[in-house]
Amino acid sequence: MSVKPAPASAPFAGPFALATLSGPEGPAFPALVTPDGHAVDLRAALGDERLTVRRLLEDWPAVLPRLRSLVDDGAAKRRPLADFRVHAPVEPRQVFQSGANYRQHVIDLHVAHRAPGDDRPEAERRAEAAQIMDRRAAQDLPYVFIGLPSAITGPYDDVLLPAWAEQPDWELELAAVIGRPAHRVPVEEALEHVAGYTIANDLTDRATVFRRDMPQIGTDWLRSKNAPGFTPLGPWIVPKESIAHPGDLRLTLRLNGETMQDESTKDMIFDLARMVSYASQTARLLPGDLVLTGSPAGNGMHWGRLLRDGDVMDASITGLGAQRTRCVAEVSR
């Protein structure tokens, strides 16, 4: 993985965010970062050399007031972000991923993948898909599956495209970071268990989503989504209190400078609270866990242009900063 310098500034909503940083030598450490591009080592500021971002999240209600006070603490030592490498902001124990959760995206997929012999006009098929999406939102449940933490990489690291991946694609997503254990929580209380938000790019090899040997068994998310580095994450965790309306954030992904995805989270079929609540009905969500909320229209399959060696992806979400990753093709063995 390449080691890229941190940005000179760190634009995000609110007075601070959390990061995981490292210097030229020494282990990674949790940091408080400020929008003017400075960082405070939280091990020293909070007096715990073993501290990680995940440990902070495990005690989030008590830690949050201390972090707020550090922003204006003149005694807290600050260093320029440019001195450090920026890693993924947290190492989760569990990653919950969502599919088919943006209305326009799913309608586009429905229209693109017509059944054999379906010769109806596109407008008619698009209207049918819209009715299905409305019914899903009113009556059905989110589609959630499990990802691997080992797929996570940093927000500025190179992304290795495996030699076997024939159709690697991008999927920009809003990710919620859990700050309180959540099990069987109602929708009305779900966001109380969220500490903050970050950016995820959930790469997928479209060629391996469905098993070729047994297509009837369904999707193969292990193969298609969980190669090392297939989930660039970060750069920051922005506290929930700094994002007033997570249901109205703009997601934008540019490939080599050309806009591919540009959509609001308002287009979600199931909003963030419903996603967190639904996942918690089966699993016990733990501090530091991620809930990815699906990707909007504009993936590579839509454009007929998949990722290849040398491509640069610039991804941003309102109030959460931006990530830049370069694709590097694995040399075939």
Residues 6+ positions from 231 with CB-CB distance below 8 Å = 95, 147, 151, 152, 153, 200, 201, 202, 203, 225
In angstroms, the CA 297 to CA 300 distance is: 9
**Structure confidence at residue 49 (pLDDT):** 95
- The closest alpha carbon to 22, from 11, 30, 32, 10, belongs to 30
In angstroms, the CA 236 to CA 20 distance is: 8
In angstroms, the CA 232 to CA 201 distance is: 5
**Structure confidence at residue 1 (pLDDT):** 46
Q: Which helix (H) or strand (E) holds 323?
A: strand 321-329
- 161: phi then psi, degrees, rounded to nearest 5: -90, 110
**Structure confidence at residue 4 (pLDDT):** 55
In angstroms, the CA 76 to CA 41 distance is: 9
In angstroms, the CA 33 to CA 10 distance is: 8
Torsion of CA 172, 164, 87, 15, to 10 degrees: 0
Domain limits, CATH 3.90.850.10, in the chain: 95-329
**Structure confidence at residue 3 (pLDDT):** 44
Low-confidence ranges of the chain (pLDDT < 70): 1-10, 112-115, 332-333
In the chain, where does DSSP find H-type helix? 42-46, 53-58, 60-71, 103-112, 122-139, 187-190, 221-225, 272-282, 300-303
Q: Give 95-329's CATH code, choosing from 3.10.20.90, 3.90.850.10, 3.90.950.10, 1.10.540.10.
A: 3.90.850.10
**Structure confidence at residue 13 (pLDDT):** 96
Q: What is the DSSP letter of 193?
A: G
Estimate to the nearest angstrom the gap between the alpha carbon of 231 and the chain centroid: 7
Amino acid identity at 63: V
Q: Which residue has the tokens 């997929």?
A: 109
**Structure confidence at residue 38 (pLDDT):** 95
